Amino acid sequence: MYMTAIAAPRNPRIKATDREIAIAVLKAMAESDKPLGRFSPRAFYDDDSETVERITELLGDKVPAGISWSYLHRRLMRVCNHLTDYGVIAGSIHSNPDRQYIGEEVRQKEFYWGNAGYAYRICPEKYPHYTPMPGSTREREIDWLLRRAYPDKNL
């Protein structure tokens, strides 16, 4: 007699591809009010958590409600590090030896626009001094930025 294995419920997973997460990250950084769209995926501080919440809003139903925070952070770090490797965004690690909050990490990685012009091209309505190129759309500019990091298979 064989015993059947009991199917244990799996933890919910993000159904979005890395490219979709990268698009959400770029849109959230362009819409951000922080200088150069700075944010840390660790989201320890309020302004960083607002950016991470905006990223999950942009992904919509692809991020289940019961997602674990460590899994979301790991996926965001993987995508942001990949974008940094391809020069789409920049990143730096900050060391904070005199932690002021319980649970605050000593080292935190922060990402920002390496070229502020990218934010202008993705979100031109936020920057009145910038005139976009004729025929330029948000989606076209994001596709151009991701052409090497996460190429679109449909093009």
The whole domain housing 134 covers 18-97+105-145
pLDDT on residue 13:
82
The residue-averaged pLDDT of 114-130 equals 85
Residue 10 lies in a domain: no
- pLDDT tens per residue, range 90-106: 999 877 666 666 666 76
Residue 152 lies in a domain: no
Whole-number percent of the chain with pLDDT over 70: 82
Residue 121 lies in a domain: yes
The mean of the pLDDT values for the chain is: 83
Q: What is the CATH number of the domain that holds 44?
A: 1.10.10
pLDDT on residue 153:
81
Residue 5 lies in a domain: no
Residue 59 lies in a domain: yes
Structural domain total, the chain: 1
Whether the pLDDT of residue 84 is over 90: the answer is yes
pLDDT on residue 10:
66
Residue 47 lies in a domain: yes
pLDDT on residue 89:
94
- pLDDT tens per residue, range 29-68: 999 888 888 888 876 666 677 888 899 999 988 888 888 8
Decide: residue 28, CB within 10 A, 0-12 exposed, 13-18 middle, 19+ buried: buried
Output the pTM of the full model.
0.84
Residue 86 lies in a domain: yes
